[in-house]
Amino acid sequence: MTALFAGLTTLDVLHRLDHVPDPGLKVTSTDFTMAAGGPATNAAVTYAALEAGARSLSTDEAVAGSPDPATRADAPLLLTALGEGPVSAFLAADLAAAGVRVLDATTPTPTATGAPGLPGSAASAPAEAAAPAISDIPGLPVSAASSPAEAVAPTIHPTPADERNAATASAPREPAVSSIIEHPSGRMVASTNARLDADPARVAADLPERVGVVLIDGHNPALAQAALTLGVPEVGGEDPFAQLEARPPHLRVLDGGSWKDWLTPLLGFVDVAVVSEDFAPPLLARADGEQVAGFLRGFGITRVVRTRGERPVQYWWDGVHGEVPVHEVPDASTMGAGDAFHGAFVWALERAGATDPERLIRFASAVAGVSVSSFGTRQWLTSPVLAELVRAW
């Protein structure tokens, strides 16, 4: 069994500084790393690291050796859009090395002749665009038709809009890029965010029939819809709520880092919501945890976890409310900490089920604590502390 993660993949370029930068000066970083990122992507990488740690405890595995981690049956699946070009190739290689199997649903680049608004003749090569014979043009005197200087074939002039459409259609589908500068007082992030169209139907045949848990980050509604409805039994009749009531055999988790307008029709398919303090549904701009949990309960989500940085994690779980303390980590590098929490939460949920939320939260918080103990989103994956957490589980 494995887990399915659906959502955003970015190229994360991270720099570390030993001082707060002056915006008018060029600075030299003290550390640098580059890796595939994004909420669902980082969660999948965390899951893969925990799975690798669990396998390392197996005597049989140690003796027999391990195949390529990304091809294993228990490798986490990432339903995403990687795009095209060299950056996409780097992301694919990085995720394969991390033990994540990618299902790339990127909508392919259309051909130039298919560009919206571009005449077929304008999209063709010049040699293929046959001009009409001058003598065939009605109303043109024979003398003008026989004069080489006057014989000018009519040409098609695409409008600026046509040219923009053609350029957009022929441009490579490049993935999102995030640039992060971490310094003693915090960090600065500039990101293109999700900018790739995705078509889940392109990889539908590669989706497994069964998974242990599904997680969505909501950055691509088409991918989220496909993941949330995986394994849902077919329903008939005209009842508009029948599909919402038809549950798959696995749990479905929302990574709610922030509210997105297209989440509303998807919430009815969610079983567990793990949200941040920044998750503010409509009309609840300054919502407290109880209001957020109440809002989600209106969509049938009775299991809500709310992270708050270094403050205790709150939960509302099948009618029970509580808090779980978080251990403070000195000099924390918090990039991707929430994503690590989500990946660890899914890993634990798949193994222990939903009966003990505090155990799930304690484990996920401990893993997130390891993730912030080193710079970037990859160094911590080989920490012996992480291996001890898996052993203790």
pLDDT for position 129: 43
Q: What is the pTM of this model?
A: 0.82
pLDDT for position 131: 46
In the block, tokens 């549904």 appear at 281
Angle at 3 between CA 96 and CA 252, to 5 degrees: 140
Which candidate, 19, 16, 41, 38, places its Cα nearest to that of 29? 16
pLDDT in tens, 112-129: 544 454 444 444 444 444
pLDDT for position 5: 98
Q: Which residues of the chain fall below pLDDT 50?
A: 62-64, 113-115, 117-135, 137, 140-151, 153, 164, 166-170
Element (H, E) at 351: helix 337-352
Cα separation, 91 vs 338, whole angstroms = 21
Structure tokens at 291: 């209001």
Angle at 378 between CA 86 and CA 256, to 5 degrees: 90
pLDDT for position 58: 76
pLDDT in tens, 312-359: 999 999 999 999 999 888 777 778 899 999 999 999 999 999 999 999
Cα separation, 259 vs 35, whole angstroms = 25
In a 13 Å sphere around the CA of 71, the CA atoms on its Cβ side amount to 3
